[in-house]
């Protein structure tokens, strides 16, 4: 993790921005949610397809669908990733859910970091991805009054 920077030196991002997950070839809109501790990605068809060694433990490798685009023209992106752990997260209804955690590069304007992302079903949520505090801390400030501060509203990402 990069050294902590002075708040004066941190870039300001909006409460919503376009995000790239370049290792997976994805670009989507995300909510920068300082009320959420972890980052989360909406996935479908999550399945374990194997195992790998991580920190002296055997953990699964998972395959999942990230569905982007409009409801009438969905774009399915099939992703495979090693799980680096599991996290118990309270969903929007305050129900505890055990989620797999994967790690990938996250790019949002000047933010370029390797982050942990929990995989879950976010059906019914406006944003398919949340960037939580652990991804954002020491990297940027969030302006809750404005969206698309660094990526622009028409940056080409799908919802």
Structural domain range at position 24: 13-140
**Neighbour-count burial of 94, counting CB atoms closer than 10 A to its CB (0-12 exposed, 13-18 middle, 19+ buried):** exposed
For position 130, which CATH number holds? 2.40.70.10
> In the chain, pLDDT over 70 holds for what percent of residues?
94
pLDDT at 157 over 60: no
Q: Is residue 118 part of a domain?
A: yes
Q: Is residue 5 part of a domain?
A: no
Average pLDDT score over the chain: 92
Q: Is residue 145 part of a domain?
A: no
Q: Is residue 57 part of a domain?
A: yes
Q: Is residue 47 part of a domain?
A: yes
Q: Is residue 86 part of a domain?
A: yes
Reported confidence tier of residue 59, pLDDT bands at 50, 70, 90:
very high
Reported confidence tier of residue 155, pLDDT bands at 50, 70, 90:
low
Q: Is residue 78 part of a domain?
A: yes
Angle (CA) 118-123-73 rounded to 5° is 110
The pTM of this model reads 0.90
**Domain count for the chain:** 1
């Amino acid at each position: 993790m990069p050294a902590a920077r002075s708040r004066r030196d941190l870039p300001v991002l909006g409460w919503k921005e376009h995000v790239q997950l370049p290792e997976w070839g994805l670009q989507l809109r995300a909510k920068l949610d300082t009320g959420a501790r972890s980052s989360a990605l909406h996935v479908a068809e999550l399945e374990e397809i194997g195992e790998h060694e991580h920190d002296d433990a055997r953990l699964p490798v998972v395959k999942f669908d990230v569905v982007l685009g409009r409801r009438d023209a969905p774009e399915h992106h099939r992703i495979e990733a090693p799980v680096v752990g599991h996290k118990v997260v309270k969903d929007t209804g305050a129900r505890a859910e055990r989620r797999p955690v994967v790690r990938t590069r996250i790019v949002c304007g000047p933010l370029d970091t390797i982050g942990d992302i929990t995989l879950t079903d976010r059906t019914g949520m406006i944003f398919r991805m949340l960037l939580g505090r652990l991804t954002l801390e020491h990297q940027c400030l969030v302006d809750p009054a404005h969206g698309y501060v660094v990526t622009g509203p028409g940056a080409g990402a799908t919802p």
